[in-house]
């Protein structure tokens, strides 16, 4: 394990053998190695630049997720990537058209790697004379899918969430009540809680354990 990797909460299951009192002698959840990986693309993009010398790194998202999965001793069944296409005006400018074209290429690459893409929308707002762009409905899509794994993926006992938003807490608590553990990969600045890289204490408390993403996580998935 990377010595710089921060790990929090006990990751060792209390029972690594058989479920006590189970007449069928069925293995407990610690034997279930399959997982789902939920990626908040906006969060991952936001932290990738400052963690890589203030430059956006060129890395393979599938490899990035695979590496995280291996560190947890899990094998992923599916990677779900939540994002929003770039904003398009009714009459797109050349810049908007180019940005959307590049997004389509990027999306196609992910889909060829069997990554599931879930899309919200990009909203443009004019604030103090300046345009600002915000993703809409992306977090809702992720939270709904997260809560629904109780029905859609009944064999999954652990999930990996790459995010930082407290909006996911209700979904995390819902699956926790069904004995599904959430492993959170996030990032925040412990020395400056007012920085843009902050994280909700309630989110941290809601998960089974969490780890801070590092520059090495991106470096290990770098496109050569």
pLDDT at 7: 57
Instruction: Write out the chain in H/E/C secondary structure.
Output: CCCCCEEECCCCCCCCCECCCCCCCCECHHHCCEEEEEEEHHHHHHHHCCCCCCCCCCECHHHHHHHHHHHCCCEEEEEEEEECCCCCCCCCCHHHHHHHHHHHHHHHHHHHCCCEEEECEEEEEEECCEEEEEEECHHHHHHHHHHHHHHHCCCCCEEEEECCCHHHHHHHHHHHCCCCEEEEEECCCCCCCCCCCCCCHHHHHHCCEEEECCHHHHHCCECC
Task: Please report, for residues 59, 60, 95, 163, 222, the alpha-carbon distance to residue 74 in angstroms, rounded to integers and kept in the order given.
Answer: 21, 19, 41, 19, 21
| Residue ranges of domains in the chain | 33-88+103-219
User: Residue 22, Cβ neighbours under 10 Å: how many?
Assistant: 10
Between CA 66 and CA 211 the distance in angstroms is: 15
How do residues 76-127 score in pLDDT, each as one tens digit? 999 999 999 999 999 999 999 999 999 999 999 999 999 999 999 988 888 8
How do residues 141-166 score in pLDDT, each as one tens digit? 999 999 999 999 999 999 999 999 99
pLDDT at 53: 86
Structure confidence at residue 197 as a pLDDT band (50, 70, 90): low
Could you tell me the two tokens for 157? 């006992």
Mean pLDDT of 40-51: 92
Residues 6+ apart with CB under 8 A from 119: 82, 83, 84, 85, 138, 141
pLDDT at 191: 61
Overall fold of domain 33-88+103-219: Rossmann fold (3.40.50)
Is residue 24 scored above 60 in pLDDT? no
pLDDT at 176: 97
pLDDT at 131: 83
pLDDT at 4: 58
């Amino acid at each position: 394990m990377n010595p710089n990797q921060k790990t929090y909460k006990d990751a060792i299951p209390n029972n690594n053998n058989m479920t006590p009192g189970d007449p069928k002698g069925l293995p407990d959840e610690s034997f279930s190695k399959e997982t789902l990986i939920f990626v908040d693309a906006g969060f991952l993009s936001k932290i990738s630049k400052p963690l890589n010398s203030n430059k956006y790194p060129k890395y393979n998202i599938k490899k990035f997720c695979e590496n995280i999965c291996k560190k947890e001793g899990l094998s992923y069944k599916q990677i779900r990537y939540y994002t929003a296409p770039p904003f398009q005006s009714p009459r797109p400018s050349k810049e908007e058209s180019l940005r959307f074209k590049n997004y389509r290429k990027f999306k196609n690459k992910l889909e060829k790697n069997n990554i599931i893409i879930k899309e919200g929308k990009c909203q443009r707002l004019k604030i103090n004379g300046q345009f600002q762009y915000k993703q809409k409905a992306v977090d809702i899509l992720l939270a709904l899918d997260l809560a629904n794994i109780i029905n859609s993926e009944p064999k999954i006992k652990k999930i990996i969430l790459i995010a930082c938003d407290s909006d996911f807490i209700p979904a995390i608590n819902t699956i926790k009540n069904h004995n599904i553990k959430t492993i959170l990969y996030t990032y925040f600045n412990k020395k400056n809680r007012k920085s843009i890289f902050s994280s909700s204490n309630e989110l941290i408390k809601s998960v089974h354990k969490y780890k801070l993403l590092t520059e090495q996580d991106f470096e290990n998935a770098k496109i050569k």
